[in-house]
Amino acid sequence: MKHLWLPAIAAAVLAAPSALAEETGNDSWPQWRGPSANGAAIHGNPPESWSETENVAWKIEIPGRGLSTPIVWGDRIFLTTAIPFGQPLEAHDDHDDHEDHGAHDNMPPDRKMKFVVLAYNRKDGSLEWKKTVRIEQPHEATHVTGSWASNSAATDGERLYVSFGSRGLYALDLAGKLLWEADPGDMSTRHAHGEGSSPVLHGNTLVVNWDHQGDSFLIALDTATGKTRWKTPRDEITSWSTPLIVKVGDRTQVVVAATGRVRGYDLADGKQIWECAGLSRNVVASPVAADGLVFVANSYDWQALMAIRPEGATGDITETDHVVWKRDRDTPYVPSPLLYDGILYFLKHSHGFLTAVDPASGKTFFGPVRLGVVRNVFASPVGAAGRVYIVSREGATLVVKAGRKYEPLAVNRLDDSFSASPAVAGDALYLRGDRFLYKIAATAP
């Protein structure tokens, strides 16, 4: 969800999932945060303005509930959802944090759920196939604003990789046939707020972070078989951040942002290379990278944003020159940062205040700027066609001109609430609301 200077940049560059992704990535959104894992659709060109009666190519109702990003590949859009099934049951929440049990606006797991993968036709929104991969009652609550289908899928153009977290990892072909499944166990999340870290791809390796209140780990699976390549223990509590895969010198690293440390691992064997302290608890925002720097942020116990240079880093790099710059105000909590055209954009906590900075120095270009009707933001911003799109839970999307000055272009309203991060592919913006999936594209008057 960012429009980045081509991520084929210098020391830290997101590796494309496959040669196929490189060939068709301009017209796809193959994973959480897009083809370059930074929020950018470099050649995307969705409309600047829309409404329920303007530039909506189609709108379909989605069964169940999910907060995962739409994945776009070829002529299909893939979504995950959790659909209530049968009569309400006695909740059997196994969460062992008794002090917090039932608190924090949680939604109890009081019935069985169907955990479903949906494939829609990109042209007209028709349902092409529907695959139920698991039916069970969740063992733990989720937050009332969350869902039991918050992890976004990923595809390499050959298979679709889906995580329902504690309900399993699955690989399907693009026609919906189940190829393999893996069960890493059950998570016990902090405050029983639910799960959300998404799987990431590099070549024939699928990487999943499993930070929770139990035994945390980072795991790499073979994409063809689902067999474990390596599994590395982590001394961490719950985090919801998705790992970032970057090229650092002659190595490919997996960077994971979390409470105790931000850590870099060797993708080949899972061995830790470096670590850096500085973030607080409840890390949700995912890292982004460009020009040899990795950017991590959160905002819970305190506010923090760090630019880390992983090249040459080993051991504990806290308070070393590998931390190029830091920021302790106006940093994001739920929405991930956006890297687009050489500018790093981020929202304050989950609120409607936007800041833009120079990625190399941390110098502020503008912000924090109050965004008016956009006040409550869970979705991560995206960049395309020289514009930044910020989607709110109130149903409004603010479109801002990309650049060093704050220039709002349009405010667009739809009859839904948006917490899932949007996807951009070709000339369309795909918005997943609580009730509907919209394709926003130029239509005839």
Cis peptide bond upstream of 368, omega within 30: yes
* One CATH from 3.30.465.10, 3.40.50.300, 2.130.10.10, 2.120.10.30 for 13-440: 2.130.10.10
1 band by pLDDT with thresholds 50, 70 and 90? very low
Q: Give the pLDDT confidence score for residue 368 in this predicted structure.
A: 98
Residues 211-244, buried b or exposed e (16+ Cβ, 10 A)?
A: bbbeebbbbbbebeebeebbebebebbbbbbbbb
Locate the domains of the chain by residue range. 13-440
Tens of pLDDT along 34-57? 999 999 999 999 999 999 999 999
Q: Say which DSSP state 168 is in.
A: -
The answer to whether residues 305 and 346 touch, using CB atoms and an 8 Å cutoff, is yes
Question: Is the pLDDT confidence value at 12 over 50?
Answer: no
Tens of pLDDT along 111-168? 899 999 999 999 999 999 999 999 999 999 999 988 999 999 999 999 999 999 999 9
Closest CA to 66 of 191, 187, 163, 210: 163
The answer to whether residues 359 and 343 touch, using CB atoms and an 8 Å cutoff, is yes
Q: Give the pLDDT confidence score for residue 92 in this predicted structure.
A: 61
Q: Say which DSSP state 70 is in.
A: P
Tens of pLDDT along 312-348? 999 999 999 999 999 999 999 999 999 999 999 999 9
Mean pLDDT of 229-255: 97
The answer to whether residues 135 and 114 touch, using CB atoms and an 8 Å cutoff, is yes
Q: Say which DSSP state 65 is in.
A: B
Q: Give the pLDDT confidence score for residue 86 in this predicted structure.
A: 82
Question: Is the pLDDT confidence value at 16 over 60?
Answer: no
Mean pLDDT of 278-283: 96
Average predicted confidence (pLDDT) for the chain: 91
Give SS3 for 154.
strand
Question: Is the pLDDT confidence value at 9 over 90?
Answer: no
Whole-structure pTM value: 0.92
